[in-house]
Amino acid sequence: MTPKTTDVYSQEKRSAVMRRVKGRNTTPEMTVRRALTGLGARYRLHRKDLPGSPDIVMPGRRLALFVHGCFWHGHDCARGARVPKANRDYWVGKVARNRVRDEASRNALQAAGWRVETIWECELKDAADLRHRLARLVC
């Protein structure tokens, strides 16, 4: 007897869908990168030698930027507060582990003398506000 599942996809299809979820060069990350380039900022990407492998790093300014998706990192906005109905316990645990990992990365970077900023996916809706925030960070 197979266990009852509420997923609309088969296990193989769900696996294929989840494999397509990107961790790098996401649309929110590309939006931030375009804004930084428009400001004339130079940066490095995904420095594996730093805790948490920040999405964007400006070594001369000792600035590390994380561009987080609200759902995946448990932001307190409407999208981040959403918990899927299917496999709820898994997702609550997954997001909690992500938050713990994010906090540990932030603390390690700050202890090493880096400024750390998190830019949330929901904050990218207002392009002028994003540009102003980034300008304050890089100037």
For residue 91, give Cα distances in angstroms to 24, 101, 139: 21, 15, 39
pTM for the structure as a whole:
0.83
φ, ψ (nearest 5 deg) of residue 66: -110, 130
| Spatial distance between the Cα atoms of 28 and 17, rounded to a whole number of angstroms | 19
pLDDT for res 9: 79
Q: Are 65 and 117 in contact (CB under 8 A)?
A: yes
- Any idea where the domains of the chain sit in the sequence? 23-138
How many C-beta neighbours within 10 Å does residue 67 have? 23
pLDDT (average), residues 8-35: 84
pLDDT for res 6 = 65
Q: What is the pLDDT of residue 3?
A: 55
Phi, psi of 118 (to 5 degrees): -115, 125
Between 3.40.50.2000, 3.90.320.10, 3.40.50.720, 3.40.960.10, what CATH number should domain 23-138 receive?
A: 3.40.960.10
pLDDT grade, residue 71 (50/70/90)? Answer: very high
For the residues 36-52, what does the mean pLDDT come to? 96
pLDDT for residue 111? 98
Q: What is the mean pLDDT of the chain?
A: 90
Residue 97 scores a pLDDT above 90: yes
Whether the Cβ atoms of residue 99 and residue 74 lie closer than 8 Å to each other = yes
- Label the pairing between strands 63-68 and 56-58: antiparallel
Rounded Cα–Cα distance for residues 22 and 24 (Å): 6
Whether residue 86 is predicted with pLDDT greater than 90 in this model: the reply is no
